[in-house]
Amino acid sequence: MKFRFVPAAFLSLALMLNGFMPRALWGQDGPQPSTGDSVSKPRHKPPSSTLPPDTEPEAQPAQNNDNDSVAQPKKSPEKPAQDEQQIPSEYKKQKEASPNQPTFSANATTVSVDVSVLDDKGRFIPRIPQGNFRVLEDGVPQQISAFGQSEAPMTICLLIEFSARFQAFWSWGWQETLQASYGFLSTLKPDDNVAVVAFDLHPTILSDFSPDKNKAQEAMSRLRIPGFAESNLFDALTDMADRMSNIEGRKAIVLLASGIDTFSKLTFDKARKSLQESGVPIYTISILQVARIMAESNGMGPIQEMDFLQADNEMRTFAKETGGQAFFPRFVGEYPSVYQQIESALRNQYSLSYHPTNVARDGKFRRIKVELVNPETNEPLRIVNQKNKSVKYTIIAKAGYNAPKPVE
């Protein structure tokens, strides 16, 4: 009988991909937040009492030692004197408005779209005139009312998957996750604001938005031992996008994850719709690509392979429909170029605004498509480099927006 030598590192990786985790790590608490629940805005908490703020609870009848209750008579509210007449109010809501009373309504809506034009190497293409941009809403061309190109600071939420499923202490996924996270933080400029959020069973805010990169580095130092084996990607992603929806300026979520969701309350369709409504670009970076290739070559099961393929498709969908990008680096050496493309797409953008021709306030989702055309021939714009060769380019913009709802 012949024995084959199996390296310890590969055996550890195979056990990790098949879901075998050390039981000693399952009971850990995971990273603890250093700040309060923030990231742009706190979540709404339910009121501690259902009584109105100006209402005092009724006193309960006192009980003696013999369990006999003595009910106190309630005082009836004092009635106003009959001779007192109530002052009539002209501001009381009427069922029908007076025909002579003027009414006002606002139907003007402005839609803003941030557009990035990148070449085949992920570099931003500058100095494209306004006349070469065409915006379509549900297939109908729109008139661009405002146009500009600028370089501005970024507001980034670094959302990191950190669970015992793939990030067990000192595993392959643990090392790749930390290496990718630290590498991205090192590319930010002093004026950029960054928040660090880790998620497993639930998201944990490790550091709030701040230009101080030392706070983010301190937050990263708490990512050592994961707490749970679950990875609720949909819940964490929609929660952070909802919190960042009211932030002005260049903003985005950089997601470092495997893409597999295990136990989220939201389904994929509901998460997809919520991300479209938030309007926050999502840049997804898939981890463990090398580990997956090694496992596939050694006979990964069809169910696990299907799970990873579905995860890749979901990462691509989230990025495309929110105006971001999806990356699937296979080697650690590819991460710097990924960070450069994200920075180029976010920091240098064309800002377009238009007033939609469809003024219906129905709350429906309207699709947006941005094209580069030659206004003389109405054909796709041809961009050439210094050698007069055509350059392949990619237009990145959000997929659409939700129309305003009628005012009740």
Q: What is the mean pLDDT of the chain?
A: 79
How many CA atoms lie within 13 Å of 361's alpha carbon, on the beta-carbon side? 10
Residue 159 sits in the same domain as residue 274: yes
Residue 376 sits in the same domain as residue 320: no
Q: If pLDDT is split at 50, 70 and 90, which confidence band does 250 have?
A: confident
Q: Taking the mean position of all CA atoms in its chain, how far away is CA 328?
A: 19
Task: Please list, residue by residue across 187-200, b when 16 or more beta carbons sit within 10 angstroms of its beta carbon and e when fewer do.
Answer: ebeeebbbbbbbbb
Residue 309 sits in the same domain as residue 364: no
Please determine, for residue 41, whether its predicted confidence score (pLDDT) is greater than 60. Answer: yes
> What's the whole-model pTM score?
0.68
Residue 316 sits in the same domain as residue 374: no
Asked if residue 333 belongs to a domain, the reply is yes
Please determine, for residue 262, whether its predicted confidence score (pLDDT) is greater than 60. Answer: yes
Please determine, for residue 161, whether its predicted confidence score (pLDDT) is greater than 60. Answer: yes
Query: What is Dmax (Cα atoms) for the chain?
Result: 111
Residue 357 sits in the same domain as residue 379: yes
Q: Per-residue pLDDT tens for 56-98?
A: 444 444 444 444 444 444 444 455 444 445 544 443 444 454 5
Q: What token pair was written down for 361?
A: 């306030």
Asked if residue 179 belongs to a domain, the reply is yes
Position 114, amino acid: D
Length of the chain: 408
Last-in-domain residue among 313, 332, 347: 347
Last-in-domain residue among 308, 326, 347: 347
Check: CB of residue 224 under 8 Å from CB of residue 252: no
Residue 384 sits in the same domain as residue 373: yes
| Termini Cα distance of the chain | 81
pLDDT at residue number 119: 87
Residue 338 sits in the same domain as residue 389: no
Q: Mean pLDDT, to the nearest integer, of 249-265?
A: 92
Asked if residue 44 belongs to a domain, the reply is no
In this structure, what CATH number is given to the domain that contains residue 256? 3.40.50.410
| Number of compact structural domains in the chain | 2
Last-in-domain residue among 347, 365, 383: 347
Residue 367 sits in the same domain as residue 331: no
Alpha-carbon distance 314 to 234, whole Å?
10
Asked if residue 193 belongs to a domain, the reply is yes
Residue 233 sits in the same domain as residue 311: yes
Closest C-alpha to 229, from 159, 306, 169: 169
Asked if residue 106 belongs to a domain, the reply is no
**Boundaries of domain holding 372:** 111-150+349-402
Residue 296 sits in the same domain as residue 388: no
Alpha-carbon distance 292 to 296, whole Å?
6
